[in-house]
Homo-oligomer: A and B are copies of this chain.
Amino acid sequence: MRVLLKGALTMNFADYFPMWNKLTPAQQNTLKDTVTFRSVKKGTVIYNGSMDCIGLLLIQTGLLRAYILSEDGREITVYRLSDMDICLFSASCIMPGIQFDLIIEAEQDTSFWIIPARVYKQLLEASAPLSNYTNEIMANRFSDVMWLIEQILWKSLDKRLAAFLLEEAALQGTEQLKLTHETIGNHLGTAREVITRMLHYFQNEGLVKLTRGTVEITDRKKLAALADA
């Protein structure tokens, strides 16, 4: 857990939170008094439907993954959030109408501010700008999910896998991706065996090179052409 002086913490929060200047001084003070800061290690589950509703998360640095889980343990990544993104659904208890459970997990070491759910709810009730902003965040996540539906329904797995590997390379900043076939399967909602088969096909085509626990991109251009096809 990183330790920061309270003043530095909230000053920083004000820089990161896009609606800060649209709030009244009283509302700003409420936030200053209640926002907390937290750093977690890669792999930490920050929120799942059965835990307490922790509040909104504003990411300083890192990467979070939101996913859903089937009754028999299958996963699919719904969206990912990184620096300066806001995670809304970790406060789903204050949002009437939300009838699904997302799990939020740190994919990299991640630092974030937490706005407690009850505080945010109180601000929402008083502030039209904040409520409209919240609407906009939800609309963005909604767009992510609609994109996902189109992918699942209408894009073949080879294209989705190619796009995922390129996204990973951008996020990890390297073409030597540390990724198990199971992890990839959990992102794409597909069984490990199916991913393994497709990766071997990619290797035969010269797109990637597989070693234990890594997938190395060897032909980025061809991979991009496949993803966009």
Among A125, A135, A150, the most chain B Cβ lie within 10 Å of the Cβ of A135
Residue A189 is within 8 A (CB to CB) of chain B in the complex: yes
Known interface pairs A96-B139, A128-B128, A143-B97. Does A149 touch B149 (Cβ–Cβ under 8 Å)? Answer: yes
On whether the beta carbons of A131 and B142 are closer than 8 Å, the reply is: no
On whether the beta carbons of A145 and B149 are closer than 8 Å, the reply is: yes
Residue A153 is within 8 A (CB to CB) of chain B in the complex: yes
CA of A131 to CA of B127, assembled, Å: 9
Chain B: minimal CB distance from A136 (Å): 4
Q: Which of B70, B78, B129, B154 contacts A74 (CB 8 A)?
A: B154
Q: Which of B126, B145, B189 contacts A146 (CB 8 A)?
A: B145
Chain B: minimal CB distance from A139 (Å): 3
Produce 1/0 per residue, A121-152, CB < 8 A to B: 00011111101101111111111011111101
Chain B residues near A68: list those with CB within 8 A: 146, 149-150
Chain B residues near A127: list those with CB within 8 A: 128
Chain B, residue nearest A141 (CB): B142
Chain B, residue nearest A101 (CB): B146
Chain B residues near A126: list those with CB within 8 A: 128
Chain B, residue nearest A129 (CB): B125
On whether the beta carbons of A95 and B135 are closer than 8 Å, the reply is: yes
Point out residues on A near B: beta carbons under 8 Å: 68, 70-71, 74, 76, 78, 95-100, 124-129, 131-132, 134-143, 145-150, 152-154, 189
6 closest cross-chain pairs (CB), A and B: A97-B139, A131-B131, A100-B146, A99-B143, A97-B140, A128-B128
